[in-house]
Structure 1
Amino acid sequence: MQAVLKCPQITVIRPQGCLNAVNALEFERDLTTALAQDHTSSTLVVDLAEVESIDSAGLMALVSALKLAGSLGRSLRLSSVSASIRIIFELTQLDRVFEIF
């Protein structure tokens, strides 16, 4: 479903396809694992370049991971958000919650 890249201070997760109710729990588990396991990395970047669509379950997985990152003193950021996905973040006002690059 995704590739995970690690740099000394950054972990990058690259989900692909659709982030929806079918795979949101798996996606959230992957985010949680990345945040909980790697204490040397201070930032988790979710690269959304290959994501075609996202629904409320996918958004909730991201929000849950953002809360966990905050409680662990780490940051979660989004990158390569396509125009169609960015509209969803804007409509839900989550673009004000997430750091998007």
Structure 2
Amino acid sequence: MQATLSNPKYQVICPQGNINAANALEFERSLITAMQQNNAQGLLVNLEAVESIDSAGLMALVSALKLSQSQGRDFCLCSVSPALRIIFELTQLDRVFEIRD
């Protein structure tokens, strides 16, 4: 389950629980839908309530990042827990994504 919030500048997505192969496609679709529905400057993915993410979840984020870049929109992550941050660092995706506190 996730929530989508609107802000004048950013569309905010708040996924919860585990993002894995079982739900990564649904997660990717929700990211893409959020980008297409709003004229916001970009998308902010709040990972505060995410417990774990696997390679399929990371690929969903990368796909959404590519789409946002092709549309000239910002894409950033926030509230990344230390456990998730390690995953981003090990995969060197911390160099690809803008990660905010």
- Range of TM-score over shorter length: over 0.9
Query: Aligned-pair distance for 1:95?
Result: 0.1
Query: Deviations for 1:14-68, whole angstroms, at most 9, x for unmatched residues?
Result: 00000000000000000000111212x0120000000000000000000000000
Query: SS of the residue aligned with 1:13?
Result: strand
1:24 counterpart letter in structure 2: A
Query: Aligned-pair distance for 1:8?
Result: 0.9
1:69 paired residue number: 68
- Output aligned runs, 1:1-101, within 5 Å: 1-39=1-39, 41-101=40-100
Pairwise CA RMSD:
0.5
* Unmatched tracts of structure 1, length 5 or more: none
Percent identity of equivalent pairs: 66
When normalised by structure 2's length, the TM-score is 0.97
Query: Aligned-pair distance for 1:100?
Result: 0.3
**2: CA distance, partners of 1:83 / 1:7:** 26
> Runs in 1 of length 4+ with deviation above 4 angstroms?
none
Query: Aligned-pair distance for 1:9?
Result: 1.1
2:33 counterpart letter in structure 1: T
* Unmatched tracts of structure 2, length 5 or more: none
When normalised by structure 1's length, the TM-score is 0.97
Query: SS of the residue aligned with 1:16?
Result: strand
2:84 counterpart letter in structure 1: I
**2: CA distance, partners of 1:69 / 1:59:** 15
